[in-house]
Amino acid sequence: MVTTTPAPLVDAATQRRTVVLLSAAQVLSGVGAGAVVSTGSLLAVDLSGADAWAGSVTTATTLGAAIASTLLARLAHARGRRPALATGLLVATAGALAAVAAGVLRSFPLLILAGALMGFGNAVNLQARFAATDLSTPERRARDLSLVVWMSTVGAIAGPNLMGPGGGLAVAVGLPELTGMFLPSAAGMVAGMLVLWIGLRPDPYLASQRTPSDSREPRPAHPGFLQGARVLLSYPLARTALIGMLAAHATMVAVMSMTPVHLTGHGATITVVGLTVSLHIAGMYALAPVMGVLTDRLGSRAMMLAGLGAIAASTLIAGFSGTSHLLTIVGLVLLGLGWSAATIAGSALLVDAVPDHARVTSQGVSDSLMSLAGGVGGALAGLALATVGYAGLGVAATITAVAAIAAVGRLRSRSVRSQGDPT
């Protein structure tokens, strides 16, 4: 494994405060992710008039996050985490308001643009977990990272369950019912932005750069996507982490984004849809600290393989759930747990796998690639639902997870032999 930077010479209280502030922002801004998942697909079908476009908003959001991840990483590299994360939430707020406007104007293209802008919020949620490791000690990286992921639970679970109240509020003020979820989303993201902008001092990344480092290589002046990609491809452990995270995210987005359409097609009420998405998101985030502890104790690769295995099982269960809402819920909860294990383990492995001078750049690229994988998964999922149905989508997702298990298994022995040196 790469020789990593020693723990920065900052007191433990500063790191704890950083984790608390990042976690608070995750709670507040997490409602936005739930809005896209639970309402975006339904609003897309309503405005476009075709089930094949059900995944279009999720696709736009993940593609927006892909672009945002690299841009925000460049900003973090130049000016720190605080302005990067706050800027991302500001753009996402504009996206939530644009989604409301799209519903009012009955404009499908505007809804797609809104989804892309809300992708900046997803990029912030992803990069916040890496910000938690800037001042962390190596033996606690996975746990600190997982605590920030965990705190997304409150907002993300609350989000889908605001579909009913949000819809009622929208109708009361003369807005379309399906736009109601985006109103609390915008408010939550503004609150999260203020928490980060006002409270995240000292900036964790800038503080980590002011401390002694064993890295003799200077930070690149203008880091870009291609430079970060070269770093990721140069280290076997980084490639291993990337494969696991990409497969986990693509399959999760594909199945999750089509589940509301599948449920409503089998007679589920909007309340059941909201509950299902909430429980799925609970699986993604609620046990994140457990995943972090297990990653620190058992190793990143072992947890990543376990997560991918859970995903493979979950997509079969959900895909063949038929008219059983209970089986769909079971499959979606297991899917969330598998994503949690694979993503936390892969993120921790990535932090350790690359040298300090390229860490933020490679993190931004990995998040961009994750979002692109999710965008592809969401786009193909809509087509799969229209052609081979929900069961066919489940089979395709299972095959993807199994292929990733095989790839990570092959890379494992090579990574151990190489110890992370560039190939």
CATH number at residue 280: 1.20.1250.20
Segment 168-196, tens digit of pLDDT = 777 888 888 888 878 888 888 999 999 99
Tell me what the mean pLDDT of segment 365-391 comes to. 87
Q: Structure tokens of 20?
A: 């608390």
Q: How many domains does the chain have?
A: 1
Task: Tell me which residue range forms the domain holding 190.
Answer: 12-202+223-418
Q: Which amino acid is at 354?
A: V
pLDDT of residue 150: 85
CA angle 343, 214, 79 (to 5 degrees): 65
Whether 213 maps to a domain, the answer reads: no
- DSSP for residue 49: -
Q: For residues 303 and 344, is the Cβ–Cβ distance under 8 A?
A: yes
Segment 244-256, tens digit of pLDDT = 999 999 999 899 8
Whether 212 maps to a domain, the answer reads: no
pTM over 0.75: yes
Beta carbons within 10 angstroms of residue 147's beta carbon: 21
Q: How far apart are CA 122 and CA 26, in angstroms?
A: 10
* Contact partners, residue 210, CB within 8 Å, separation at least 6: none
Tokens 């494992």 identify what position? 412
Whether 3 maps to a domain, the answer reads: no
Per-residue pLDDT for 234 more than 90?
no
Per-residue pLDDT for 34 more than 70?
no
Tokens 């130049």 identify what position? 78
